[in-house]
Amino acid sequence: MEMVMGNSSRKMHPHKFLLWIAIGSLTMMFAGLTSAYIVKSNQAGWQPVKVPSIFYLSTVVIVASSITIWLAQKAIVAKQMVKYRLLVSVTAVLGVIFLFTQFAGFSEMWQQKITFKESIAGSFFYVIAGLHALHVLGGVIALFVLVLRVFSTRTKFYSSTPVETAGLYWHFVDILWIYLFIFFLLVS
């Protein structure tokens, strides 16, 4: 009796593989930045920064966007294109709202005289949260590319790989924001 075994292992798409490498690198970068924040906070003259209250809204918005991108992934796999179009569009809009709330929080801090020149803690805060916002901006751009592609009349074949890759990145920036938000709440 001969036993035939099927190939049950799936190869990872190269874009996903590269994204995992980038996620590892970004995780190390933000771990280093938050570690530096902790080390510097033990020095004389350190004035902690109060987290702007609008950042609570930012957190709700980015968590909601993580849910919508997850639902968009499920919709494209189920070939529910109308639902997919709506959900990927909502995710992109929520990403823009997140960026606006971040900007509002930074503006609030600036009005309180928490500037690069006046506050070492503020400088760290701006750099860390600002770098995160830049990565979210990159994700928003990728989401709008997906939106343009899905609404393009030229597109006939819908692959789930682009939304899976964008979703993976989006979940990463979501989890990263939750980490940073909790970090700033606890350390400040």
The reply to whether 36 falls in a domain is: no
Q: Is residue 38 part of a domain?
A: no
Lowest-confidence region among 5-9, 78-82, 157-161, 171-175:
5-9
- Do the domain assignments include residue 89? yes
Tell me how many domains the chain contains: 1
Position 70 in a domain: yes
Q: If you average pLDDT over residues 148-174, what whole number do you get? A: 84
Residue 150's pLDDT is 85
The answer as to whether 56 is a domain residue is: yes
Instruction: Tell whether 3 is covered by a domain.
Output: no
Is residue 69 in a domain? yes
Domain residues for 58? 49-187
Average pLDDT along the chain: 89
Q: What is the pLDDT of residues 80-91, one digit of tens each?
A: 889 999 999 999
In this prediction, residue 188 carries a pLDDT of 78
Q: Among 30-34, 50-54, 111-115, 131-135, which is the least confidently predicted range?
A: 111-115
Q: Where is average pLDDT lowest: 4-13, 30-39, 106-115?
A: 4-13
DSSP for the chain reads: --------PPPPPHHHHHHHHHHHHHHHHHHHHHHHHHHHHTSTT--PPPPPTHHHHHHHHHHHHHHHHHHHHHHHHTT-HHHHHHHHHHHHHHHHHHHHHHHHHHHHHHHTT--TTT-HHHHHHHHHHHHHHHHHHHHHHHHHHHHHHHH-TT-----SHHHHHHHHHHHHHHHHHHHHHHHHHHH-
pLDDT in tens, 42-62: 888 788 899 999 999 999 999
pLDDT at 100 over 80: yes
CATH number at residue 149: 1.20.120.80
pLDDT for 9 equals 60
How large is the average pLDDT for residues 168-183?
A: 97
Q: Which of 16-20, 102-106, 117-121 has the highest mean pLDDT?
A: 102-106
Predicted local distance difference test score (pLDDT) of residue 5: 45
Q: What pLDDT is stored for residue 149 in this prediction?
A: 87
Query: Could you tell me if residue 178 is inside a domain?
Result: yes
pLDDT of 148 > 70? The answer is yes
pLDDT at residue 184, rounded to an integer: 94
